[in-house]
Structure 1
Amino acid sequence: MPTLQPTAPYDPLTAEARSLLFRTASYLGEDELVQLEKACAYAFHAHDGQTRKSGEPYITHPIAVTTELAKWHMDIQTLSAGLMHDVLEDTGTTKVELAAEFGDTIADMVDGLSKLEKLEYNDQAEHQAESFRKLILAMTRDVRVIIVKLSDRLHNMRTLGSMRLEKRRRIAQETLEIYAPIANRIGLNNAFRELQDLSFQNIHPGRYNTLQKAMNSFRRNRRDVVGKVLSAFSQRLVSANIEAQIKGREKNLYSIYQKMQSKNLRFAEVMDIYGFRVIVNSIPACYAALGALHNLYQPKPGKIKDYIAIPKSNGYQSLHTTLTGPYGLPIEVQIRTREMDAVAEGGVASHWAYKSGDDKLDQATVNTNQWLQNILDLQARSANAIEFLEHVKVDLFPSEVYIFTPKGKILVLPEGATPIDFAYAVHTDVGHRTVAARINNTMMPLRTKLKTGDTVEIITAEQARPNAAWLNFAVSSRARSAIRSYIKTMNRQDAVELGENLLQKALSSLLPKDVLLSEELKEAYLADLNNKQTTFEDVLYSVGIGHTLPVSVAMHIANLAGEHFGGEVKLSPIKISGNETGRVHLGQCCNPIPGDAIRAVIIKDQGMIIHRDTCPNLLKADTDQQLDANWDAIHHDASYRTSLLVAAQDGHGLLAAMAQAMSGEGADIEAVDTPSQSQSGTEGFIEFKFRIKTKDLSQLNRIIHALHNIPSVRRVTRV
């Protein structure tokens, strides 16, 4: 597309929108305003002839998006990207052409805002997740990308009326789950609240309208409350010689709705509708104002929060208190400095709005950059875009708890976090090696939910490793992604080790010991596969998970070694120690224990399952997938689960006698089923099913013999 002149034939609607944009962006310098006109003309020509669902010229949308960005005092590059954010996606313009006109930075921002081509994906959910991942990763390179996206989403939400109902609800749900929390996470609080309300309006229009009517009625009945409180606050602060700006506002509808839902309240029972903001000149003045207002209205115990001493993770700072105001209504008050207010309302956008170099303003950018680094870590650990999207959703918790390390450092975690989340927040290696935790000097379970102010000490062990069960209660994206990543890595390592074991055993029956699996044979095998992407570890992994039979790989390698064999190739028996993990499992269908005759079955994507040789499931397995197996040296402290069915004549003390007989032989009774009538139908006989743990077949036989010695026991069967 050729370079455009800074003038273009705008229609009246577009001309009005453009005029508002330039009035809003009047803070720009002259050269920047020239570039803004150039970007505006470029976008106008690119979208020429396109209309929105409402019938309006399409260019009115990017102009409205950019006007919102100008309200946030964003820089010229961001405004230019806002004007052209749909140019690559919806027109024939290429990124190369855009870069030639406006530079690589703006072109990269616009590219990050463009969705992926839909033809690349068959699954809509995967396409959406991949597009979101592209956006988030572009944001990690330049945070202004997400600021433009939030402005884009805000205008789209304001103009959803022309969409069909199902699409409105889908877009609103996505906004509520992802984009509103992102706005909150980077500190764009006004955008956060409006996105929440607009989503609420489109997802539950009936509830929204009912609540809005209730608010209008409440406002009429309590219209004097705000005026009374503002007057009282002003007089008290003036008398205390505290210079302050005071603002009053109502809570947004969605936050009221959330409170009604979470606490099962009717609207009339929600009291804290009003909020007030007191903006002062310094931090000492914040605490002085807090004391003055506590002398004016009674503060509510437990409702005072100091986010100045302990800021939120997005850089937000303020003193919070709840007072009992006129008519007994609770009034929430936020007290902060002007710089804190800038961060609270603009978040990371305040970095561009204010060039004072103030540490508080810069802190919002520092915190956002730290969050973006966490996002990059999540990307590295996620197996696919859908998993990445789920991790990011978890990371966008609006509620937080503040936890102390033993040395007094504060860590910010999502609400509902446990010691596992805390351990991974300290360091990934600490999380991996966690075995226990002390909360406020008391040993507590790892699934305990932490509260603000808790002091947590993590106890580690060198040999410890993550437990998959932790995923049932870990809530932070950092912990969950680290646990999943570790488990995937360990599963691969287990599969590779099993594959190597199986392949070595297969080769030992084919090749002389001095040949076996040399590096030359590995390279020759890979060359014969003619797949440059495959490593020999990939081959071993494929064998270990059952995708490839070890015998077929062994025969191939043996032929490459010049050893040609005919007839059946038989693997030497696999040695089973009984405490297998990862890719070797004891069959749950037959519960083999040391001493049982066993065989192994290689199951695709599962690894190796060990069965008793009489197990019906073994008979169903393909003989090509079966291997001989023997028990190896068994650990003395190992125990194995099995079940016994005992039929006996009913009598007093029977259950106690059986339990004593089993425990006397060293068995651990895990469970016993409620006695039922014997399946044999014999009158007066009942059956018990015991689930026990035993060391080996010899001990089990002693247990069975001890049960037979009870006079009323007629039959003992291993299930």
Structure 2
Amino acid sequence: MITDDDLIELVRSYNPRTNEPLIRDAFAYGEEMHHGQYRHSGEPYFTHPVAVAAILAEQRLDDATIITALLHDTIEDTRSTYGDVADHFGKEVAELVDGVTKLTNLQLSSTETKQAENFRKLFMAMSKDMRVILVKLADRLHNMRTIKSMRPEKQTQKARETMDIFAPLAGRMGMQWMREELEDLAFRVLNPEGRSSIIRRFITLQRETGDVMHKITGDMRLELEKAGIEADVFGRAKKPYSIWRKMQEKEQGFSRLSDIYGFRIVTGSEEDCYRVLGAIHQRWRSVPGRFKDYISQPKSNGYRSLHTTVSGRDGKRVEVQIRTRQMHEVAEAGVAAHWSYRDGVRAENPFAVDPAKWIAGLTERFEMSEDHDEFLEAVKLEMYSDKVFCFTPKGDVFKLPRGGTPIDFAYAIHTRIGSACVGAKVDGIRVPLWTRLKNGQSVEIITAEGQRPQATWIDIAVTGKAKAAIRKSLREEDRERFMKLGAELARVAFEHIGKKASDKALNTAAKRLGIPGRAEMLARLGSAEITAHDVVSALYPELADTKGDVVDEQRAVVGLSPDQSFKRSGCCQPVPGERIVGITKRGEGVLVHAIDCTRLAALEDDLDKWIDLQWHTGTHRAIYTVTLDVVISNDAGVLGRICTLIGEQKANISDLKFVDRKPDYYRLMIDVDLRDVEHLHTVMTALEAESDVASIARRRDPETSLTAAAAE
């Protein structure tokens, strides 16, 4: 468990003026009140409030919020009362603790009438002090992180409530990181097989395409350097649930998704944001209709950023977000930025908005309403702000993604209605089929017998259901042509590996791909829904993935003279596939560093020692050691599973050190021998998918880190 010293040190890192004695008193008081109470996992109950306080401290929140987190269950679960908390810690903290207690007692997933009333109470409590919901969200986040110890039926109920209420609420408040983590934790409970499938497919994609994210990040940095713009570039893979949701919405396979990766560019000024946008659009072709300027038109929760999608490396679509550092703080923290502290004072971020405005406006409009359905609908419209709710002339409601069109609406009603659509009226006025629908509009679909979907509809529709139905109709019309083309593509692909595309082979490939029959597979191949590589890999994965001869270790680096030898730097541990630079060192040959190694800054004045190097493009042996910083649950068999999982990825553990042992978790430094950066990401992704791995990160400067960690 985190100690009071650990927590205070965390708070002091951003608030040197913190009231240390009061936090220590709250820690001791909470520990005393919860003495003898245990969680379902068997841990002392007080480990939970402390973990909640740590989550809020990571958001740099004020002392009152941290103390409230430590005490948030005392009034509900112990002999402590409102008066006791007020006497010890003041009225402000007592009000906050009482507010969290009332929220905990609300049954937000109950019947609709009761749910509407409880939502009303939820928003009324939030309107008094937003910090109440910040504590409640952190409370839910830690409960979801430790949900495995609950009964299966309780896990399902909590996960569904999290997915339906708390995750959207966190997103609506601008805390996107928390929304994504809550959704993914709930997804792990509600659909573990689906989540594991996404992880496995992601590993396969990385194996096939290499480290696309690292390459694109490098390309962007290079373009910004050419333009003379100082900015930080980050790339990340989207969470499994985010990928799953897009697959469901678009009704596409994993390999057909174009936005699995997202990139973020953080600049020093608003002017630089637009300069970066120009540089990106000058280098890559922008995707029409995918640009949004949230700087000139910010969201109501203060979010500001430029969003664009471009056709990046190898034609892959890439989503890019561009913002300043202050905008980035708000984008990361959401409404919590309003309460965050820095150097002991409330941080003045010009982009952080008053978080109570949205809540106050909502409750003011509906606090006198007796119509539960009206209030609940209004709440959901506000919380699910990325959705559009439209009505049929008869009053039936259909939910669409923001940007949905009459075509999407028609297919939402019924596939037959969508296919026969020839026009639409919105609020009684005839509009083009590409019109973007808005909340609350009434939509009437005009149909005609004999009408068929048009190819142009695919670019107009945004929902997966509509796009899939349109493609199916078009595919049926062109089925014969697509089948002939698919057969030719399959023949060439099989001949390339010395095999024959027989009917038996194609039927087997279709079965392994989950496609109903050879003819359907060839039609999909001809229409570019699957690739010839997919078909070949289904039967002969060992032949499809052949990459050529293994590189000799002595010539792994290109750019050295015949008399020069090289050694990998221990500080950044570069691996094949990463951008590298050589530094000549007397008596040691050439020391190879990753281009983003922090130690290179000290050598900027000695450019004569620098050598431009690159890794050989062939296949490397698994001899390049990388240190991984891993936190795992302290449960029987977990370490064995972790080691087995690493071995299953064809990686070898060359060293392992325990640097922190706690009752509930272990922190380890694991040295793993790898082939290249693609192999590294495969291992890290596989470990991240393991439910008993709390966190995993690549440890740079391992010598220093191991020494520091051992001293902790």
TM-score of the superposed pair, with normalisation by structure 2: 0.53
Structure 1 residue 171: Cα displacement: 1.1
String of CA shifts for 1:168-187, please: whole Å, max 9, x gaps. 12111111111111111111
Cα distance, 1:299–1:105 mapped onto 2, change above 3 Å: same
Partner of 1:21: 7
Partners of 2:120 and 2:287 in 1: CA distance: 44
The answer to whether the Cα contact below 8 Å between 2:53 and 2:69 also exists between their aligned partners in 1 is yes
Structure 1 residue 132: Cα displacement: 4.8
String of CA shifts for 1:536-555, please: whole Å, max 9, x gaps. xxxxxxxxxxxxxxxxxxxx
Q: Secondary structure at the match of 1:364?
A: coil
Is it true that 1:226 corresponds to 2:213 in the alignment? yes
Partners of 1:280 and 1:374 in 2: CA distance: 34
Q: Secondary structure at the match of 2:323?
A: strand
Out of 321, 329, 336, the residue aligned to residue 342 of structure 1 is: 329
Partners of 1:247 and 1:267 in 2: CA distance: 23
Out of 302, 315, 340, the residue aligned to residue 328 of structure 1 is: 315
Partners of 1:449 and 1:263 in 2: CA distance: 25
Is it true that 1:114 corresponds to 2:118 in the alignment? no
Structure 1 residue 312: Cα displacement: 1.8
Out of 292, 298, 301, the residue aligned to residue 314 of structure 1 is: 301
Q: Secondary structure at the match of 2:26?
A: helix
Partner of 1:529: none
Identical aligned pairs, as a percentage? 41
Partner of 1:257: 244
Matched residues, number = 414
Q: Secondary structure at the match of 2:353?
A: helix
String of CA shifts for 1:48-78, please: whole Å, max 9, x gaps. 1110111110000000001000000000000
Out of 176, 185, 189, the residue aligned to residue 198 of structure 1 is: 185
Partners of 1:166 and 1:455 in 2: CA distance: 39
Q: Secondary structure at the match of 2:380?
A: helix
Q: Secondary structure at the match of 2:19?
A: helix
Partners of 2:361 and 2:240 in 1: CA distance: 32
Q: Secondary structure at the match of 1:139?
A: helix
Structure 1 residue 391: Cα displacement: 3.6
Partners of 1:223 and 1:387 in 2: CA distance: 51
String of CA shifts for 1:367-419, please: whole Å, max 9, x gaps. x3221122312541443778645542332114168xxxxxxxxxxx994899x
Alignment of 1:150-549 (within 5 A): 150-353=137-340, 361-366=349-354, 368-383=355-370, 388-399=375-386, 415=402, 445=427
String of CA shifts for 1:646-690, please: whole Å, max 9, x gaps. xxxxxxxxxxxxxxxxxxxxxxxxxxxxxxxxxxxxxxxxxxxxx
Query: What are structure 1's unaligned runs of at least 5 residues?
Result: 1-13, 402-412, 419-441, 457-469, 475-719
The answer to whether the Cα contact below 8 Å between 2:404 and 2:437 also exists between their aligned partners in 1 is no
The answer to whether the Cα contact below 8 Å between 1:417 and 1:450 also exists between their aligned partners in 2 is no
Cα distance, 1:87–1:329 mapped onto 2, change above 3 Å: same
Higher relative contact order, structure no. (Cα contacts within 8 Å, ≥ 6 residues apart): 2
Alignment of 1:641-660 (within 5 A): none
The answer to whether the Cα contact below 8 Å between 1:319 and 1:335 also exists between their aligned partners in 2 is yes
The answer to whether the Cα contact below 8 Å between 1:62 and 1:84 also exists between their aligned partners in 2 is yes
Code of the residue aligned with 2:89 in structure 1: it is: F
Code of the residue aligned with 2:215 in structure 1: it is: K
Structure 1 residue 450: Cα displacement: 12
Larger radius of gyration: 1
The answer to whether the Cα contact below 8 Å between 2:18 and 2:63 also exists between their aligned partners in 1 is no
Partners of 1:66 and 1:57 in 2: CA distance: 16
Partners of 1:177 and 1:388 in 2: CA distance: 17
Partners of 1:451 and 1:341 in 2: CA distance: 37
Code of the residue aligned with 1:54 in structure 2: it is: S
The answer to whether the Cα contact below 8 Å between 2:387 and 2:401 also exists between their aligned partners in 1 is yes
Q: Secondary structure at the match of 1:79?
A: helix
Partners of 1:33 and 1:324 in 2: CA distance: 52
Code of the residue aligned with 1:445 in structure 2: it is: D
Partners of 1:126 and 1:144 in 2: CA distance: 27
Out of 34, 40, 43, the residue aligned to residue 47 of structure 1 is: 34
Alignment of 1:89-104 (within 5 A): 89-104=76-91
Structure 1 residue 47: Cα displacement: 0.8
The answer to whether the Cα contact below 8 Å between 1:116 and 1:130 also exists between their aligned partners in 2 is no
Query: What are structure 2's unaligned runs of at least 5 residues?
Result: 389-399, 406-423, 445-712
Code of the residue aligned with 1:166 in structure 2: it is: E
Code of the residue aligned with 2:243 in structure 1: it is: I
The answer to whether the Cα contact below 8 Å between 1:294 and 1:323 also exists between their aligned partners in 2 is yes
Partners of 1:269 and 1:22 in 2: CA distance: 48
TM-score of the superposed pair, with normalisation by structure 1: 0.52
Cα distance, 1:167–1:362 mapped onto 2, change above 3 Å: farther
Structure 1 residue 81: Cα displacement: 0.6
The answer to whether the Cα contact below 8 Å between 2:160 and 2:186 also exists between their aligned partners in 1 is yes
String of CA shifts for 1:265-312, please: whole Å, max 9, x gaps. 111111211111000111111111011111222221221111111112
Code of the residue aligned with 1:112 in structure 2: it is: G
